[in-house]
Amino acid sequence: MKRKTRILLAGLASVGGVAAAGMLHNRRPDRRERLHVTVFSEPGYRGRNKRLTWAGNAREVVPLNRIQLPRIGSIRLERLVYRFQPDVRLPNPYFLWHALTERPDRTDPESGIASFIAMHQLAGMFSAGRWEPVRESQARSGVRLWAGRPDRKAAPGEAAAPGAQPWHDVLANTPDLGSWSTRARYLELGYHDESRPRG
C-alpha cells in the first residue's frame, strides 16, 4: 500500500473515531454543565449585577465582598452543556481519487496538489459541536447561599437560630431571595445535593 494511501486512510479512520467518541459523549449522563450565575443587588433582577461562571470542576466558594454587591436581591441561572453535533462535509471525490491514484512527479511543481487539497478537506470534514442550554428539569448545578463560611464551624457570635439551616439552595431563577438577601455571605457554585449540605 502506498504511503499516501495509508495517510489518507488513517485520516479517515481518525475522523471516524473522533465522531464516534463525540456521539458517545452526548449520551453520557454525567456530562459537566457550565453554569452562568447573574447576581442582582435588588429583587426583580434589578440594581447592580455581577456575572459569575462555573466551569463544572470542583466547587467554588465566592465571598459576597468579592462580587462587590451590598446584598443579593435576586439570582438568574443559565446552564449549558457541550453537545457534540458534527456537521459532516465529505471530501470532493475528484481530489480524493487523484490523491490516492496519482504518482508524484518531482519535476512538476503542481504535483501533489490534489493530495494537499484532499488532506485539507479530510481535516475539515466536520464541525465539532456547540454549547446548548440545559432544561431546568434536567439541570444538576446550582448556587448554595451560606450565612457563614462553608468550610469552617460558626464562631460563637455567628450561631444561627435553633432549627435554621446555615445554607439555602438556589436551583432556579429566583426574583426575590427574601431573608436570604441579607443573610447570605458566601455563594457556592457547583453541583447541588438536595438532601444534605456540601461541606
Q: What is the pTM of this model?
A: 0.62
Let me know if 88 is exposed, middle or buried by CB neighbors in 10 A (0-12, 13-18, 19+). exposed
- The CATH topology of domain 31-87+129-191 is Gamma-B Crystallin; domain 1 (2.60.20)
Tell me the per-residue pLDDT of 11-51, one tens digit each, with 9 for 90 and over.
Answer: 555 555 555 555 554 455 556 789 999 999 999 999 999 99
Which CA distances in Å does 125 have to 88, 91, 97, 154? 5, 7, 16, 57
- Counting every residue written for the chain, the total comes to 199
Over residues 119-178, the pLDDT tens digits come to: 776 666 666 677 889 888 888 899 999 999 887 655 544 545 545 689 999 999 999 999
Where is pLDDT greater, at 47 or 82?
A: 47
Contacts of 36 (CB under 8 A, 6+ apart): 51, 52, 53, 77, 78, 79, 80
Q: How confident is the model at residue 199 (pLDDT cuts 50, 70, 90)?
A: very low
Could you give the C-alpha distances from 134 to 23, 50, 80, in angstroms and in order?
A: 18, 21, 5
